[in-house]
Structure 1
Amino acid sequence: MDLNIYLTFDGRCEEALKFYAQALGGTIGEFHRFGGSPMDDGKMPAEFKNRVMHGRVEANGQILMGSDAGPGQPFQGYKGFTVSVNVPDTAQGMRTFDALAAGGQVTMPFQKTFWAEGFGMLNDKFGVPWMVNCEAQQG
């Protein structure tokens, strides 16, 4: 079984997934647009045709997916969850944290904690909440 994160955006999905691919060292797997899809029944508003109906980023064997909110499905923001990234060492943790924080808001700086060699929290420039964690080495 796989458990994946699926985010919805308000017209910025393509920009966001490209940002995540770069920040996480991943690649864009695919983009499907509303225009030309079965949902494009000739009544779809023109401003939705180029929006992303489904997109995918693959990074280190993990998958992050997303789409733009479709017609009749207003975007309602992000609440009640945080995307968590676990990294193997603090140098990668700091790089990942800084990349995701670019243009966003740091809510807890990346630092050593009682459970981790490095941990930090942020809301990225799209408003998505993230935690970056590098657990303490067992030894």
Structure 2
Amino acid sequence: MSITVTPHLNFRGQAREALEFYRTVFGGQLFIVTNDDAHSTERPEEAAQVKFGQVTAENGFSIMAYDVPASRDYDQGVNSLFVSVRTPSAEETTALWNKLVEGSTVIEAFGPSFFSPAYGMLRDAFGVVWVLDVAVEYTG
């Protein structure tokens, strides 16, 4: 048996836009169920918002998203989570960084670090903090 962990991001009306953007970066299939689709619309202006959304790619990337309805508290917080993307090569990490950085605020400049040949941290246009690096084998 194996376990898969998929980040599930919460938004307030931006889930579709975020998922569409992540699909342009990582590829894969986009699946969205709106509040109307799920027959769970609380307010007419939230009918087209995302009740369940996911991007899944053949390369193993998977992320989920949801629009928190106005009837529920929502506070994205500061540094509430980081989404970490690790690849086997600097070339692959660099290619993803170059796409994801568009419209983002760089927190840690992309480049070599003491623990990885390629590393960077950014906050995207949707407020999500991403950490990208090359996975290296640690020895103790």
TM-score range, shorter chain: 0.7 to 0.9
Post-superposition CA distance 1:61-97 (Å, at most 9, x none) = 2321011112412431243210000012112111111
Find out whether 1:90 has 2:90 as its counterpart.
Answer: yes
Over 6 Å off, 4+ runs: none
* CA RMSD after TM alignment: 1.7
**Whose strand proportion is higher, 1 or 2?**
1
Residues paired across the two proteins, number = 134
Counterpart of 1:66 in structure 2 is 65
For structure 1, which runs of at least 5 residues remain unmatched after alignment? none
TM-score (norm 1): 0.88
Letter in 1 for 2:12: D
Instruction: State how far apart, in whole Å, the 2-side matches of 1:105 and 1:75 are.
Output: 22
Letter in 2 for 1:22: T
TM-score (norm 2): 0.87
Instruction: State how far apart, in whole Å, the 2-side matches of 1:88 and 1:98 are.
Output: 17
Q: Where do residues 21-60 of structure 1 align in structure 2 (5 Å cutoff)?
A: 21-28=23-30, 30-40=31-41, 44-59=42-57, 60=59
Instruction: State how far apart, in whole Å, the 1-side matches of 2:61 and 2:109 are.
Output: 25
Counterpart of 2:9 in structure 1 is 7
Check the 8 A contact 1:53/1:70 in 2, yes or no. Answer: no
Letter in 2 for 1:56: Q
